[in-house]
Structure 1
Amino acid sequence: WVACVARVHVDRKTGVVRVEKLTLVTDAGTIVDPDGALAQTQGAALWGLSMALHEGTEFVNGLVKDTNLDTYQPLRMADVPELDIAFVESEQVPVGLGEPATTVVAPAIGNAIFAAVGARVRHLPITPAAVLDALAGRSA
């Protein structure tokens, strides 16, 4: 009940993907608290963006590799794109908005990359190396 479209810029030389805009539309029944609904959707979308491009857990010798934010770097404020969020008018019962907008962001980014440069990336996080591999026709 959430749809997302991403506008991205892909640097063909470096493989860096910059998300310029996320557009999300949510059908959550009757919106009881518009400000709260917007805040929940914004937070979920940014979490989804962070997981799509930045976050990934690696293990070394059975332990999590990154144990501090000096090496594990989620989305930073400087990387927050324009957000365009709307809610479908509805008379249905209200539903929760905890994290529904999280899961639609990565597929939207992947589709936007494909639309922009014709390279399909299928694993998260979408790293510059994975984009370069996809551009070169190697499995990503």
Structure 2
Amino acid sequence: MHRSYSRGELENLTDLIQRPAEGSVYAAISFYALGGEIRSVGKRETAFFYRDARYIMGVQSVWTEDVFARANRDWLRRRFEYIKSITVDSYVNFPISNLRNYEREYFGDNAERLERVNKKYEPFNAFRFPQGLR
């Protein structure tokens, strides 16, 4: 999150979690403050590019029975679409499946450099996952 939000946008965010998905035992939108020491490191000095953001926002739903997995994933996807409409990019530690251009979304202008580093130091791709560096 790089900007302040209107009262309407904040109300929309709270509305997103008022009706959890079927089977959900916990639903939330969390805000993690950035700034301070995070901004004292350059954007290109580490993998984390979005050092000028004000917050990281995460949306979650917790379910305990597999029968509710699809409903909760769909619920999350719909909420993510709204959040995506008022934010930019995405935080790699809160992965979302089927994210278009995930390298750019997660790593910003660091994506190409990180892909080169990955090829050099991890040439066999042993630590792969669906949205890993290529």
* TM-score band w.r.t. shorter chain: under 0.3
TM-score, normalised on structure 2?
A: 0.28
Considering fraction of residues, name the structure with more strand.
Answer: 1
Considering fraction of residues, name the structure with more helix.
Answer: 2
Task: Return the structure number with greater relative CO, CA threshold 8 A, min gap 6.
Answer: 1
